[in-house]
């Protein structure tokens, strides 16, 4: 399979090593714009591991970004850490262009929470399992980012010696409120800004 990989650094190198070991042909680019746009159309899948939401948006949707060059049905696996609302918006924009996007942020532990449509997640999971055994389907677009935030929050709670969370939040209301807070103000989610 031809896999585009956008990003650099130690984690990117480790992931690319696993992809190569599995026999995939890699087309690497540091930021996904310019020259990569021409190669994107030849890729079965494009994976991104970029530093922030601005870099992801530029790689995908800038004038010289690669999203418009992808063939219909192409899969993008975003391994970057983004706000859930940004990941969801990117998935919607890519869907408008005929592509699929999975948000699967790496770096917060051995488990990768995966968000996206059923079809996108089914296609992404075998590639993700090449570099982790812990792949958990979290829900629709943006849910991979939400799951990561919940794991970080839960880890912080565990680190602060809270051993019995059920007594602190028996019905899960506090956890739900924390999850909602990661998406920003309710007005922006409801479109009543």
pLDDT digits (tens, 9 = 90+) for 128-148: 999 998 999 999 999 999 999
Q: What is the structure's pLDDT at 153?
A: 79
Checking 179-186 for CB contacts under 8 A at 24+ apart, the result is: 179/146, 179/149, 179/150, 182/83, 182/84, 182/145, 182/146, 182/149, 183/83, 183/84, 183/85, 183/142, 183/146, 184/83, 184/85
Q: What is the structure's pLDDT at 154?
A: 73
What is the CATH T-level fold of the domain 2-190, as seen in this structure?
Rossmann fold (3.40.50)
Q: What is the structure's pLDDT at 184?
A: 53
pLDDT digits (tens, 9 = 90+) for 6-18: 999 999 999 999 9
Domain boundaries, the chain: 2-190
Of 102-111, 117-126, 160-169, the range with the highest mean pLDDT is 117-126
- The chain-wide mean pLDDT, for the chain, equals 87
């Amino acid at each position: 399979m031809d896999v585009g990989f956008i990003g650099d650094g130690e984690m990117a190198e480790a992931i690319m090593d696993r992809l190569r070991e599995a026999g995939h042909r890699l087309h690497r680019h540091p930021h996904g714009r310019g020259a990569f746009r021409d190669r994107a159309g030849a890729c079965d899948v494009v994976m991104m591991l970029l530093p922030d939401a601005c870099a992801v948006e530029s790689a995908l949707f800038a004038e010289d970004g690669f999203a418009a060059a992808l063939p219909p049905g192409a899969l993008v696996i975003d391994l970057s850490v983004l706000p859930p609302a940004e990941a969801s918006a990117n998935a919607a924009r890519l869907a408008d262009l005929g592509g699929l996007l999975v948000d699967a942020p790496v770096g917060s532990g051995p488990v990768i929470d995966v968000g996206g449509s059923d079809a996108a997640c089914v296609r992404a999971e075998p590639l993700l399992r090449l570099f982790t055994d812990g792949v958990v389907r979290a829900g629709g677009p943006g849910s991979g980012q939400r799951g990561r935030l919940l794991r970080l929050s839960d880890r912080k709670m565990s680190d602060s010696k809270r051993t019995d969370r059920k007594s602190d939040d028996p019905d899960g209301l506090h956890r739900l409120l924390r999850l909602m807070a990661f998406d920003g103000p309710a007005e922006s989610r409801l479109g009543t800004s």
